A and B are shown apart, each in its own frame.
Chain A
C-alpha cells in the first residue's frame, strides 16, 4: 500500500520535471519572452526621448506593462502542444486530478519563463533610471506578479484550448485580469520611490497571487476536462 500513497507526489514531481525541461527547450524556451521584454524596454527611451527625469518617472509603470505583455507570449503553447500530441490521455490515467496537472504545468511554465522575466525586472528598471536601492522590492513584486500572470494566463489558455491559433483570444481573455497586478505592482514602485509605505500594495499583490493559486486550478481543471471530453 505504501507505493499507492507515494504515487501522487512522485507523479507530480515527474510531471513538473518534464514540463520544466520542455518550457526551457521547446520553441526557443524563455529566450522568446526575454528577448521580447528586453527589446520592448530598449524601445522606450527611443520613443520617449532620453530625458532621465521623464524616464525614471515612467519606468515602473512601463516595466510592469511590458512584463504583462511578455508573460502573454508563451501562453499559447502551455497546453496546446500536449493537447495535440494526445499526452493528456496518459496524464488523465495517472494519479493526479486535472486541477493539479494544470497547476503543475503553469508552475513549470512560470519557472521556465516568468521567473526569468522577474529576475530581469530590477535591471531593466534601474537601466531606465529607477534608484538602485529599489532593486530588491521590485524583484519581490515582479516574482509575485509573474506568478499571477502565469496562472491567470493558464486559465485563458485552457479556455481557448482546441481553437486553432488561439493566441489572440487568450490575450483578450486574460488581459483584463492582468490589470490588478499591474496596478498594484506599478503602485508599489511609485509608493517606494515617493517614500510612502509599501506594505499595502505588497499585500494586495500577494493576495492576488494567492487568489490565482487557489481558484485558477479549479477553473483550468473544468476547462480542460470539457476540452478533452
Chain B
C-alpha cells in the first residue's frame, strides 16, 4: 500500500502568533523527516496539526493512498500514532493496566502486546504504578503503543530525549524497522536521529507575514 502525507502551503497559529507559514512538505512510504529549529518555533504545534488535533489557519493537510484521498477522520483514528512530551500514563495505574487499555482501545490484538513487552523489555515494569517510573522508563512504555497498534504514520515529539544510550539503540532499531516496512516517521528533534532522515528546518516567519496574519 502506498501512502503519502502532504502539507500544502500551511500556516499555523498559536493564539494570535503566527508560528509557521507557507510550509510545504510531502512524506511517502519509508520517509523519515526530522523537524528541527529553535525552541518555540512550532515543531510540536506542527506535529499536533498533522495529527488532526486542530485545523491549520491556512493551507491544507491531506493524506492519500492507492485508492485516493483519505478522509481526515479516518487518517486520525486509524493511521496515526502521536507520541508527545507527555507520556499519557495515569500515575495511579500500573504499566500493564495502561498498556492493556491502550491495546483494547486502539483495537490491537494480544500478540502485539506480548511482542511490544518483549521488544522493549518492559516485563520488569508491568506491575509498577506508572508514577514510580523514571522519565526514560515512561518513554519506553510510550513506545510500546507504536508496536501494539500497527499504524503507518508516526508523529514523534523529541522521542529520544529521556532515553539512555542502550534504549536509544533499541528505539532507533524500532524506527528503522518501521521505515523499512513502509512506514512514515515525522519527528521533532534537537539531537539528530541516529539514521538517515530528511531534515526540515523550521524558522520563524518574517515580521510582515506575522503582521498580515494578525489581521486575518
Name A's B-contacting residues (CB within 8 A): 3, 6-7, 10-11, 13-15, 17-18, 21-22, 25-26, 81-82, 84-87, 89-95, 228-229
Contacts and interface: CB of A to CB of B under 8 A. Distances in A.
A86 B88 contact: yes
Nearest to A14: B104
Given A7-B107, A95-B107, A90 B77 contact: no
A229 B53 contact: yes
A68 B118 CA distance: 49
Contacts of B92: 22, 25-26
B195 interface: no
Interface stretch (B35-43, B78-86, B168-176): B78-86
Contacts of B81: 93
Interface residues of B, number: 28
A11 B101 CA distance: 9
B139 interface: no
B76 interface: yes
B106 interface: yes
Interface string B97-136: 1000110111100000000000000000000000000000
A229 B54 contact: yes
Nearest to A7: B107
B67 to A, nearest CB: 14
B145 interface: yes
Nearest to B101: A18
B91 A85 contact: yes
A82 B52 CA distance: 19
B199 interface: no
